[in-house]
Structure 1
Amino acid sequence: MNVKLLLSLAFGISVIAQASAQDDLLKQLDTVKPKEKQVEIAGFKGLQICNMQSTKVASKGEWYILISHRFGDLTQGLDNFFGLDDAYTKLGAIYGATNWLSIGVSRQTNNKIYELTAKYKIKSQETDGFPVSIVGYNTMDINTNLSTDIYPDLEFYNRLGYSTQLLISRKFSTKFSAEIAPIYIHKNLYDASTENENQFAVGMGGRYKLTKRLSVNLEYAPRINAPENTVYHDLLSLGLDIETGGHIFQLVFSNCQTMNDVYVFSNATGKWNGGSIFFGFNLYRVF
């Protein structure tokens, strides 16, 4: 009888111990969650580096109002009052349709060009995963300044120009981010003596954070297939980002005065070594 009692007690204790161990194991499984990959943020604070686009994309529901200004040639001094007499202005708006897609429209005084844009996030840099951010960017220009008095056979499609860009960036540290961007430009109307219908460039840019609200930016975009007799130059710009709450204010020095992407990468008229330099700014206000 004692033996049966002891066996019954032993069996009960065993069952209780196993149940307790299973409960502990289930609790451990409940507390272990799949490791979520952390997306790296703030590689660039502005939507642009200087003239080039950065890999920052407007978030869903955000509205950005853009005001850009480029003064005339600084090297002419008082002849054009250090560029004030020959300024270009660009006004635009950008809307975050989703967290990965934004669309925009702008108009600039040079050639009365309207620019339609689409910017879309393909992949984000991850802290312990994917090493870079990849963003696509497309623009379409409409040159409304062209006249049938000069071009009697002018058609609407002659007014159009396009750019396609693949923006690839990496945030290397809390202070430094860099970007490279293969760029394709197509113009339906162009000067065959100085440029090509289809043009290619490789944009390179970087941002170095100086303080919590200040960063210095640099960009360069050499053209790959520019004609030997071209009168234009490779884009080279230097800028300073100033963060002021809901504003991103960018001061820009560049050898290009125009602000639409088709002209920026194919029609820079200035040179840093003894040529024209243009000062201006980009102002973004987010709502």
Structure 2
Amino acid sequence: MTKTLILVSMISSLLCYSQEDLLKDIDTISTTETSHPPAFKALQIVTGQSTKLTAKNEWYVVIAHRFGDVSTGFKNFFGLDDASTKLGVIYGLTDAVSLSVSRETNMKTFEFGAKYKLLKQNDNVPVDLVGYNVMALNTDLDTETYPYLKFGNRLSYLTQALISRRFNENFSLQLTPSYVHKNLYDPSIENENQFLTGLGGRYKISKRVSINAEYFVNFDSHSFYKNPLSLGMDIETGGHVFQLLFSNSQLNSDIGYLTNATGKWEKGQIFFGFNLYRVF
């Protein structure tokens, strides 16, 4: 664990130092409404979605990586031998609507998402309100394990309301009520329909760095899985936002992250990872 933290610190320092000259001329995230900038600079708080959207005709390439359980120690080199990766693209259809597609190696899951702004915080509106919908396709399922498998069994769905408020230049909070429906599930460990509520926040500690945190409560008391708790750091560098994080959920996909967390923070069962967004 100590070695991993040292590695994170070294990466963070190197990124901030190497990009300093470039950042004098480049503002990674622009906004046309400077009086009411977005509550979050990245599209995710940690792994969960934020109320930040892409601009019209803007493309984002997303690379997300989660290493294995750091508590395994040298056996798996503190999780570095066991990783899950997500690759995706996001397109700004308008300033208020974006579409996304991604694929994660864990469970070979494709996700198709739509994110749309309903309210924007201003002098008369106290919060940002954004809707987010996902359809996930699990291509790892096979007919040998599930002889009666149908295409519809591979699908699961997520609906979220993202409600955020920027309190000042440094501090933002977000409330995220969520609903997940799975067409294929194991009734002995979880329910078909799951309701969750998440609370996440961002605190800016320097011009280009913030500390982020999020926690989701799953009201499915029947669930075998844990409530996801994640801590992260945003680093704005030339042309992209880089996020370093620790979480008790290894999955990168929205639905997997929310409903399939297995780690226990109190036992050191956490996963180190990063999110990288490149804007075009």
TM-score w.r.t. structure 2 length? 0.87
State the distance in 1 between where 2:149 and 2:138 align: 12
Instruction: Give the superposition deviation at 1:275.
Output: 4.6
Task: Please tell me whether residue 57 in structure 1 is matched to residue 53 in structure 2.
Answer: yes
What does residue 130 of structure 1 align with?
125
What does residue 279 of structure 1 align with?
272
State the distance in 2 between where 1:223 and 1:157 align: 24
State the distance in 1 between where 2:203 and 2:239 align: 20
* Contact in 1 for aligned 2:190/2:220 (Cα 8 Å): no
Instruction: Give the superposition deviation at 1:245.
Output: 2.2
* Contact in 2 for aligned 1:114/1:141 (Cα 8 Å): yes
Instruction: Give the superposition deviation at 1:271.
Output: 1.0
State the distance in 2 between where 1:73 and 1:283 align: 21
> Which one of 201, 204, 208 corresponds to residue 213 of structure 1?
208
Instruction: Give the superposition deviation at 1:51.
Output: 0.8
Residues 216-267 of structure 1: CA deviation (Å, up to 9, x unaligned): 000000111231xx32100100000000021100001000000111111111
How many residue pairs end up in the alignment? 248
User: Which protein shows a greater Rg?
Assistant: 1
State the distance in 2 between where 1:271 and 1:49 align: 21
What does residue 62 of structure 2 align with?
66
Unpaired runs of 5+ in structure 1?
1-36
Q: Percent identity?
A: 58
State the distance in 2 between where 1:39 and 1:115 align: 34
Matched ranges for 1:77-88 at <5 A: 77-88=73-84
Task: Please tell me whether residue 112 in structure 1 is matched to residue 115 in structure 2.
Answer: no
Unpaired runs of 5+ in structure 2?
1-32
* Contact in 2 for aligned 1:39/1:124 (Cα 8 Å): no
What does residue 200 of structure 1 align with?
195
* Contact in 2 for aligned 1:196/1:226 (Cα 8 Å): no
Task: Please tell me whether residue 187 in structure 1 is matched to residue 177 in structure 2.
Answer: no
Say which SS state the counterpart of residue 81 (structure 2) adopts. Answer: helix
* Contact in 2 for aligned 1:105/1:115 (Cα 8 Å): yes
Say which SS state the counterpart of residue 267 (structure 2) adopts. Answer: coil
Aligned residue type for 1:133: D
* Contact in 2 for aligned 1:248/1:285 (Cα 8 Å): yes
Matched ranges for 1:212-231 at <5 A: 212-227=207-222, 230-231=223-224
State the distance in 2 between where 1:207 and 1:75 align: 27
Aligned residue type for 1:236: L
What does residue 11 of structure 1 align with?
none
State the distance in 1 between where 2:140 and 2:109 align: 7
State the distance in 2 between where 1:80 and 1:226 align: 32
The runs of at least 4 aligned residues of structure 1 exceeding 2 Å deviation read none
> Which one of 246, 249, 265 corresponds to residue 256 of structure 1?
249
Aligned residue type for 2:128: S
**Structure 1 pair 38–174 and aligned structure 2 pair: CA distance change class (3 A):** closer
What does residue 76 of structure 1 align with?
72
State the distance in 2 between where 1:43 and 1:80 align: 38
Instruction: Give the superposition deviation at 1:38.
Output: 7.9
Aligned residue type for 1:91: L
TM-score w.r.t. structure 1 length? 0.85
